[in-house]
Structure 1
Amino acid sequence: MKNQILKLVLFIFVATSVISCQDDPLEGVVSNDRQFLSFKIDGQVGPAIIKPEGEGSGTIELFAFGEDIDLSSITPKFEVSEKATVSPQKGEAVNFDNGGSHTFQIVSETGKIREWTVKISIYEPILDGEWKIRSFLYDWHIGLNNDWGWGVFGAYDVATSSYDPANYVPEVLAKDFPDAAFEEDNTIEFKTVLINEKGNPEGTFSYEAGDDNSFSSFVLNPDHQGNARDYSHRFRKMPKGNGVWEFNELGNVITLWEGNKNGPSVKGNVTVDAQGNISIAFDIWENSFTWDHWDAESHIQNAYTIYYNFELDNI
């Protein structure tokens, strides 16, 4: 037993000696790196866009939100390449009052220099304002990705495993849900309040009924069995009344909470057209179709997305 312990101790000693005698492959190597690894300021929206350009320059673009932003005294938080030095230094207040720009200089361990132009632009929220519904649409397809299917996506091309976009035209929801028309005069107001620690805008919203003082009903009456069937759990995505939201601009995803963040929530995809109109699309697919009914109910049960398309309410 003692011999085994002695052999183990000798083995560890020899192995340690061999490792310690090996040359360090990084010894004597110096770095040319002169990069910004990260860059952030208070009130920043989303991540900074960091672009090295050639051997000696680079740009950083970012957006900041807030009416009281003082561009003459910004203290950025950043990380640079190991063993590189930067000017202005970390923790130093910087004057961006010259058109929102300032030039930083990073010097590598070897003495190479890269000039970085940092540009801060004031963020203009794309959601803020009072909006009215321009259209309330949905799409559906029976037998999606099968050549026997039909719906607003058009015919499925087996050869290309796709649909011709020219054949895709979402339908007015009131065609199959008559009382969905109550939604078509509703309004919503978005207001950005802050930028959170993730760099996402957050704010409040108020979704109100229009002149008819009514919201859509998603009850199909009668259904194929002659009964009233309520599909609100699928189609009532937009919360009524007041709530809060968070918008991930990088992914174009908005999360809406009814009341506050302790309330029910729903996610939608936001798009903006060339005129500045916004659209919020909600996924409503459920695999619940049965073959004992047709027409409106088959469309409803095979629905994939509803679209709230808004334009600014200038009245």
Structure 2
Amino acid sequence: MKNQILKLVLFIFVAAFVVSCQEDPLEDIISNDRQFLSFKIEGQVGPSIIKSIGEDSGTIELFALTDNVNLNNITPIFEVSEKGSVSPQEGEAVNFNNNDGSFTYQIVSESGKSRAWTVIINTYDSTLDGNWKVSSLIYDWHIGLNNDWGWGVFGPYDVATSSYDPANYAPEVLAKDFPNVAFEEDNTLEFRTLLINENGNPEGAFSFGAGADNTFSSFVLDPDHKGNVRDYSDRYRQMPEGNGVWEYNELGKVITLWEGNKNGPSVKGDVTVDAQGNITIAFNIWEDAFTWDHWDAESHIQNAYTIYYNFEEDNL
């Protein structure tokens, strides 16, 4: 038994010695890598778009609030290929005003190959900034979702494909079920970008006004089918009334709205922009709390999924 243990120890020792004496198969490989892995400047919105072009060139395109950036003196933060050398180096200030907001870096690989990288700074044009007015409020509702007996804005459920036909989708005007929502349809919204935070997200202030009728909708159903007053404001009041602040994730197209300041209540919405530049903010309001205590409009209200605030430019 002792001999077997001794042989095993000896085998492990010899194997480890042989492996340690073998040459690293990658040791003599000379790297040709000459890439920018990341690139960021102060005031930048979102990530940089880094593209190699052919064998010896590439572009880095980014967006920034150029009004708040001194293009004559920018010190980017970046990362390049491990064995590549870059000129100018990280930490050196460069002048982007010499060539219409662009600057060219050179990265030389370990093998001596060179690639010229042209960095282009574009002015960030916010799709949110401006004065808006509510053009419509629509919403999605559906009873018996993913059941062939269900009905609502998604149309009939196709059991064979486990899906709904998009051609049947028809969101409903919210004021049809909530008469008081008509007060919301003349409301005004002002967005202003104030800064770009460390995550590259624009932040700013907003003001959501009551419009010409000086009235916000309370999302009250009066009366319900039992003759009572039923208030759904806690669920449907997504746009904060009055003044607040916001942060917009440009990459994910998600806006966070805070009532008052960032210590106040917040809500997230998905932002889309149409071909005319009009914006829509969609809020998820689904609650899995359906009961058969409903009648007509109340069944729609209780089975709502998404509310859409559609805004068009307000030419004051």
* Counterparts in 2 of 1:263 and 1:12: CA distance versus 1, 3 Å: farther
CA distance in 2 between counterparts of 1:288 and 1:66 reads 48
Q: Decide which moves more: 104-113 or 146-155.
A: 146-155
Matching of residue 188 in structure 1 with residue 189 in structure 2: yes
Q: Decide which moves more: 179-188 or 147-156.
A: 147-156
Matching of residue 278 in structure 1 with residue 279 in structure 2: yes
Please give the residue correspondences for 1:195-206 in structure 2 after superposition, counting only pairs within 5 Å: 195-206=196-207
State TM-score, norm by structure 2: 0.92
Secondary structure, aligned partner of 1:67: helix
Secondary structure, aligned partner of 1:174: helix
Q: What do you get for the CA RMSD once the two structures are aligned?
A: 2.3
2:115 partner amino acid: R
Secondary structure, aligned partner of 1:94: coil
CA distance in 1 between counterparts of 2:302 and 2:53 reads 53
1:298 partner amino acid: S
Where structure 1 has 5 or more consecutive residues not aligned to the other structure, the ranges are 1-5
CA distance in 2 between counterparts of 1:206 and 1:293 reads 35
Secondary structure, aligned partner of 1:183: helix
1:152 paired residue number: 153
Residue 291 (structure 1) shift: 2.1
Please give the residue correspondences for 1:1-315 in structure 2 after superposition, counting only pairs within 5 Å: 17-97=17-97, 98-315=99-316
Residue 21 (structure 1) shift: 2.1
Residue 211 (structure 1) shift: 1.4
CA distance in 2 between counterparts of 1:184 and 1:292 reads 29
Residue 210 (structure 1) shift: 0.9
CA distance in 1 between counterparts of 2:164 and 2:105 reads 50
CA distance in 1 between counterparts of 2:68 and 2:157 reads 54
Secondary structure, aligned partner of 1:287: coil
2:195 partner amino acid: L
Secondary structure, aligned partner of 1:28: coil
1:63 partner amino acid: F
Secondary structure, aligned partner of 2:20: helix
Residue 128 (structure 1) shift: 0.7
Residue 284 (structure 1) shift: 0.6
Percent identity, please. Answer: 77
Residue 12 (structure 1) shift: 8.6
Encode CA deviations 1:78-113: one digit per residue, 9 max, x unaligned.
Answer: 110011111222122222221222221111000111
Checking the alignment, whether the CA contact within 8 Å between 2:256 and 2:269 is kept in structure 1 is: yes
Secondary structure, aligned partner of 2:73: coil
> How many residue pairs are counted as aligned between the two chains?
314
Encode CA deviations 1:205-238: one digit per residue, 9 max, x unaligned.
Answer: 1111111111111122222333222211210111
CA distance in 1 between counterparts of 2:238 and 2:185 reads 15
CA distance in 1 between counterparts of 2:140 and 2:187 reads 20
Secondary structure, aligned partner of 2:67: coil
Residue 264 (structure 1) shift: 0.7
Checking the alignment, whether the CA contact within 8 Å between 2:189 and 2:209 is kept in structure 1 is: yes
